[in-house]
Amino acid sequence: MVGKAALHRSVASILKGQPLRVGVSRYTGPELPTLLALDLLGMRPLPLTGFGTAEAALQALRAGTVDVIQLPFDVDFSGRMAALQEDGFLPLFSNAPANSPFLRQGLPLDFNTVFTQERHRTPNALLYQAWSATATATAIKAGLMLPILSLPATVAQWRHASQIAAASHDLKAHARDENQIVLTGSACTSAYATMMPDLSVVLALRRWLAFNVPRWRDAPLAPAAAQQYAD
């Protein structure tokens, strides 16, 4: 996540209800972990929809239409981040859970570290578990999953084939070029478990969305954002 917003928001600004405008594709799009993270930090995110590509989000950020955007950690990440920092924008945190296989070199500080710095405690609410699940899910580009109750022999065959494919030089080179990693075996099991939280977490996320989405839709747009939508 990147923007000009300061994580240390004053009590006065929070009490005034000043929202933090976040450029997103849609309310429940791949930027959902960023909205959850900002809410957990007490920063009152206000998502502005319609920014479905990194280029559109970058343009909105530079134009002042939004305060924060989420950038994909892809082959263009380093170049985009360097250009943004030259313009005065800062990386705020990365949506990568603690001990996540997707937490790797080149990313900004992970959200857990930032939350602990800002709140002086570790996150443990149901919404944090929802953030962890959505952050893991949105980090996955593609996955291979067998049907439930597949025969053990079939599972073993596919596991072996996946391990061979993941070890191939061409696939490793492609993943490296695209800033991606390939997971097999127990690492996949761990990631899948994170994406499948308890029912209480799912219900908490649904309540959070049910409360916030109508409020986001009815929120008045700032002049810059209103002009963007008018155009």
- 215 in a structural domain: yes
- 146 in a structural domain: no
- 99 in a structural domain: yes
Closest to 114 (Cα-Cα) out of 43, 207, 16: 43
Whether 157 has a pLDDT exceeding 70, the answer reads yes
What average pLDDT does the chain have? Answer: 84
Question: Going by DSSP bridges, is the β-strand pair 90-91/2-3 parallel, antiparallel, or unpaired?
Answer: antiparallel
Same domain for 64 and 131? yes
Same domain for 169 and 59? no
- 212 in a structural domain: yes
Same domain for 44 and 93? yes
Same domain for 177 and 126? no
Same domain for 59 and 159? no
Same domain for 90 and 117? yes
Give the domain range for residue 51: 2-141+195-230
Task: Provide mean pLDDT across the span 121-146.
Answer: 88
**Tens of pLDDT along 177-229?**
877 888 887 778 888 888 889 999 999 999 999 999 999 999 876 544 545 55
How far is 210 from 37, CA to CA, in rounded Å?
17
How many domains does the chain contain in total?
A: 2
**Tens of pLDDT along 14-28?**
445 678 899 999 999
Distance of CA 99 to the CA centre of its chain: 16
How far is 158 from 165, CA to CA, in rounded Å?
10
Closest to 188 (Cα-Cα) out of 153, 157, 138, 144: 144
